[in-house]
């Protein structure tokens, strides 16, 4: 997967909100790529809503990882701004996508509630040496498995755990490192 994850070389210092919005955009793209990879591996989705549910599980996982990755780079206030801005950006993207799928109504509240629930769950899981634990990746796999449906259902968790989650983690780490590199 190729995507731009570096700021231009104009020397302008980017705000926490700028980096959070860019990270949210990148996380959404990573999640879309994970969904496409699942489908290429013949894991069936039956509707656009189901596809969106898979993307949502991945973006929440990635938002939590972004929070963990930035823990040592930011003050508590900056980190809070980063996570809140990132989740708001993701909620807007989810809202726009769902309006195209299921019509105009409020999807943000449900999305935010799910983010809070999953973030709380992930917060109780180990994250050591800059890496999410097996438990975190397995939890993501179980949540994707729950929304994917019956076809090949027992293998989805393993696919996510062993292939999709590591790929997503690698791309997110690279993106955050690139975004926080000085322009020169």
174-179, long-range: CB < 8 A, 24+ apart:
174/5, 175/3, 175/5, 175/22, 175/23, 175/26, 175/30, 176/23, 176/66, 176/69, 176/70, 178/5, 178/6, 179/5, 179/6, 179/7, 179/14, 179/19, 179/22, 179/23
User: Which pair of tokens denotes residue 47?
Assistant: 């509707």
Alpha carbon 180 to its chain centroid, in Å, reads 18
Whole-angstrom Cα distance, residue 168 to residue 174? 10
Q: What is the pLDDT of residue 10?
A: 54
The answer on pLDDT for 9 being more than 70 is no
Beta-carbon neighbour count of residue 54 at 10 Å?
25
Beta-carbon neighbour count of residue 53 at 10 Å?
18
The answer on pLDDT for 60 being more than 60 is yes
Q: Band the pLDDT of 154: cuts 50, 70, 90.
A: confident
Q: What is the pLDDT of residue 27?
A: 97
Q: Band the pLDDT of 7: cuts 50, 70, 90.
A: very low
Q: What is the mean pLDDT of residues 14-34?
A: 94
Q: What is the mean pLDDT of residues 141-152?
A: 83
The answer on pLDDT for 150 being more than 70 is no
pLDDT digits (tens, 9 = 90+) for 68-90: 999 888 999 999 999 999 999 99
Residue 57's closest CA among 129, 177, 157?
A: 157
User: Which pair of tokens denotes residue 156?
Assistant: 């989805």
């Amino acid at each position: 997967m190729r995507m731009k994850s570096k700021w231009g070389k104009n020397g302008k210092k980017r705000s926490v909100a700028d980096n959070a919005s860019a990270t949210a955009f990148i996380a959404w793209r990573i999640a879309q790529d994970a969904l496409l990879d699942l489908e290429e591996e013949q894991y069936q989705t039956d509707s656009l809503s189901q596809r969106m549910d898979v993307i949502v599980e991945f973006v929440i996982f990635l938002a939590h990882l972004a929070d963990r990755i930035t823990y040592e780079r930011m003050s508590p206030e900056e980190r809070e701004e980063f996570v809140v801005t990132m989740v708001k950006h993701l909620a807007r993207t989810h809202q726009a996508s769902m309006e195209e799928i299921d019509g105009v109504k409020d999807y943000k509240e449900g999305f935010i509630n799910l983010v809070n629930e999953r973030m709380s769950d992930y917060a109780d899981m180990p994250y050591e040496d800059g890496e999410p634990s097996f438990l975190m990746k397995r939890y993501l796999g179980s949540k994707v498995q729950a929304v994917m449906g019956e076809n090949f259902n027992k293998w989805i968790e393993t696919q996510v755990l062993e292939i999709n989650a590591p790929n997503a983690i690698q791309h997110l780490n690279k993106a955050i490192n690139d975004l926080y590199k000085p322009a020169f």
